[in-house]
Structures are given as structure tokens and as C-alpha cells.
Amino acid sequence: MRKDAKGRTHFKIIFVGSSLAGKTTLLKYLHDQVDGLVKGGLTSIADPSGRTVYFDYSPFSATNNVLFDVYTVAGQRRHRDQRKMMLRAVDGIVFVADSNPEMKQDNIEAAQELKEFMGTKLGTEIPMVIVLNKRDLENKMDREEMLRDLGFIKDTLAINTIATKGVGVKQAFQAVSREIIMRTIYSKQAA
Ligand SMILES: Nc1nc2c(ncn2[C@@H]2O[C@H](COP(=O)(O)OP(=O)(O)O)[C@@H](O)[C@H]2O)c(=O)[nH]1
Ligand SMILES: [Mg+2]
């Protein structure tokens, strides 16, 4: 969380997950199609094939003085250091898993890396929502199997999505932003 020069509060949300899981598609849908949010421009830094090279970024606001700065980070192995850097001062995480069975191992590795970077803060101090994307695939993996593979703390909210059609996208964003706000309120009370 940070305050800008105008006194507005910014919360940082990051979409994490293996390469091609659908992070950019989710953010793009949120930016282009979801009403009721005030949006800034969507900035994407991609190579000519459309792969995210560094990150995608879009700010969203529901009120005049609270903004959510949403990023997706590049998922390829070679961008590990960038992901680690981006996760500094993060307020909420959306972990995007790919339902394609061929991506089973990639999902596991991405989850493993995130746990390594975030330690015990993950899903506790730093709220997290799981997105199981590509639920339109005929050969999609079983939901329970995917959650077992990821091995995040028990009872982490998991939402089925079809990013290309926008199914579940708004719900996932609402869930993580709600958890961030709730956490902020409760930590203020505790202080
Ligand atoms: N069938 C299907 N394809 C998807 C879905 N979401 C994303 N994709 C496709 O998966 C590929 C990778 O998506 P992208 O958003 O670039 O993944 P990123 O690397 O995580 O940012 C693209 O070809 C998308 O059109 C989905 O829900 N269902
Ligand atoms: Mg991307």
C-alpha cells in the first residue's frame, strides 16, 4: 500500500502463474469489458508474439481515493528475478493456474516459486485468490487435483474462469480486492 501526492491510497495486486496460463487475457478482459470500475490505460510490454516480456499494468478505482494497481508478470523461467522484484510491497495476489493437463508441472513450479518468494505471508498477511483458468477446455484437469497440486494453504478461495469469455473474471478481482480492504481495516483496528 502506498499514498500518492494527491493523498490517494494505492493497493498493488499481482497476477502470478505459469507462462500462457491466461494472466494477460484476464487483465485485458477486466480492463476492456468490466463496467463499474474507473480505469486508467492498460500498459503492456510484450514481444511481437504477444508474450509478456516484462509486465502488464492497469490501475482501477472504485472510489476517488482508493486505487488498485494491477500487474501481470511474465511467467517464463528466465524472468524469475523480475517476478521476485514485482512481488515486493504486494498487497494481494491472484494465482492463475492453467487447466490444460499439459501444464500440470508448470502450475506446480509456479506455485512452488511463489511460496518460496512469499513464505508464510502467502494467503495470511498477503491475501491470495486462486484462479483456475481455461475451464472451457474439454480435457481440463479436475478441480480438486489442481488445488492439491498447487498446495496453497487450506480454504484459499478458488474461482473457475474462462478468461477468453470473461467468465469469473470480475468475481476474482472482487474477491481479492475485498480481502485486501478487509485486511486493511482489521490491521488498523489491531494497531
Ligand atoms: N481456451 C482458453 N484459452 C485461453 C483462456 N485464457 C487465455 N487463453 C489463451 O491462452 C493463451 C495465453 O494467454 P495469455 O493471457 O497471453 O497468458 P499469460 O502468459 O498468462 O499472460 C492465449 O492464446 C489465450 O487466448 C481460456 O480461458 N480458455
Ligand atoms: Mg502475459
Task: Give the model confidence (pLDDT) of 3-60 as tens digits.
Answer: 999 999 999 999 999 999 999 999 999 999 888 788 888 888 877 777 777 788 999 9
**74 contacts: CB under 8 Å, gap ≥ 6:** 19, 51, 52, 53, 54, 55, 82, 83
Residue of the CA atom closest to atom 14 of ligand 1 = 22
Pocket of ligand 1, candidates 16, 20, 31, 82: which has the most ligand atoms within 8 Å of its Cβ, to mutate? 20
Q: Residue 164 contacts by C-beta under 8 Å, 6 or more apart in sequence?
A: 22, 25, 29, 136
Percent of the chain at pLDDT > 70 equals: 98
Mean residue pLDDT across the chain: 93
pLDDT band of residue 190 (cuts 50, 70, 90) is low
Across the range 153-175, mean pLDDT stands at 97
Is 163 touching ligand 1 by the criterion CB < 6 Å? yes
pLDDT computed for residue 191 by the predictor: 60
Task: Indicate the DSSP class of residue 37.
Answer: S
Average pLDDT over residues 151-170: 97
Task: Determine if ligand 1 sits within 6 Å of the CB of residue 110.
Answer: no
SS3 for 23? helix
Q: What is the DSSP letter of 167?
A: B
Q: How many domains, in total, are found in the chain? A: 1
Rounded to whole angstroms, how far apart are CA atoms 68 and 66?
7
Q: Average of pLDDT values for 68-72?
A: 95
Residues 75/19, Cβ–Cβ less than 8 Å = yes
* Global pTM exceeds 0.85: yes
Give the CATH number of the domain where residue 67 resides: 3.40.50.300
Q: How far is the CA of 85 from the centre of ligand 1 (A)?
A: 24
The confidence band for 127, taking pLDDT boundaries of 50, 70 and 90, is very high
| Residue 129 domain boundaries | 2-190
Residue 18 Cβ inside 6 Å of ligand 1? The answer reads no
At residue 63, does pLDDT exceed 90?
no
